[in-house]
Chains A and B, each alone.
Chain A
Amino acid sequence: MVSITDQSIDIGALQRSVEDDGAGGTVLFIGTTRDVTDGRKVVALEFEAYKPMALRELEKIVQYAREHWQVRHISVTHAVGRLAVGDPAVVVAVSAPHRDAAFEACRYIIDTLKKTVPIWKKEIFSDGEVWVNAHP
């Protein structure tokens, strides 16, 4: 299950969404944002998404994970809009019979999400704003 939300992410709900009697292990990755970038204090963040394509790319990533690891359930949610430092920006939950698959699938999902899903982060400082990674 994949989603993009403009509300704060309910981590407990995501964990519950992957619960399964057949699961021996559940891995939860919570992506948060640090408070300092290059020595500058981050005041807030904004995330923007090309929503229909982002959902499509997230589905592809989840589908790949299902095909390559023995997992029970996968849930991924990414937040959009304005977030405070420390707010969860993305949560990936994977349940599996064995923990190796849960760890590996979860790692694959977040690593790939960061490369391919059309979502953008802007860091807001007290004296300016910067779209992350836009320039070399």
Chain B
Amino acid sequence: MFMTINVLLFGITVDIAGKRRMALEVEEGCNVLQLRRSLQEMYPELVSLRSLTLAVNNEYAPDTHTLGSGDEVAIIPPVSGG
């Protein structure tokens, strides 16, 4: 079974993917690690980044976090505020 998640991109990942947001179909039970791997397959340049953290519904999420239908998932490249 599949579900839709809403992916938001930031910083250099926008340059890499060519977009700021996308709706993705993922398998139910998909976790953060699996999603990161899928994104890296779709956009191999993501692999060269220093880090690629994901946030789910405005909270940093560990690799083991299971995604839910309709989740807002942000792709967080290395932060550089301040």
Known: A50-B10, A110-B82, A132-B80. A118 touches B55 (CB 8 A): yes
Q: Of B11, B50, B58, which is in contact with the most chain A CB atoms at under 10 Å from its CB?
A: B11
Residue contact A115 to B50, C-beta cutoff 8 Å: no
Distance (whole angstroms) from the CB of A47 to the closest CB of chain B = 7
Q: Which residue of B lies closest to A55 (CB)?
A: B58
Q: A134's contact among B49, B55, B82, by CB below 8 Å, is which?
A: B49
The residues of B that contact A121 with a CB separation of less than 8 Å are 80-81
Residue contact B77 to A50, C-beta cutoff 8 Å: no
- A56 sits at the interface (CB 8 A): yes
Assembled-state Cα–Cα distance A19/B11 (Å): 36
Interface contacts (Cβ under 8 Å), in number, total 77
B residues 21-35 near A (Cβ < 8 Å) are none
- B79 sits at the interface (CB 8 A): yes
- A135 sits at the interface (CB 8 A): yes
Q: A135's contact among B8, B50, B55, by CB below 8 Å, is which?
A: B50
Assembled-state Cα–Cα distance A115/B8 (Å): 20
Q: A56's contact among B11, B58, B76, B78, by CB below 8 Å, is which?
A: B58
Q: Which residue of B lies closest to A4 (CB)?
A: B81
Q: A118's contact among B15, B48, B49, B74, by CB below 8 Å, is which?
A: B74
The residues of B that contact A54 with a CB separation of less than 8 Å are 81
A interface residues, Cβ below 8 angstroms from B: 31, 47-50, 52-54, 56, 78, 89-90, 110, 113-122, 131-136
Contacts A/B (CB < 8 Å), 16 sampled: A31-B82, A48-B10, A53-B59, A78-B81, A89-B82, A114-B79, A114-B82, A119-B79, A120-B77, A122-B11, A131-B11, A133-B50, A133-B78, A134-B50, A134-B77, A136-B50
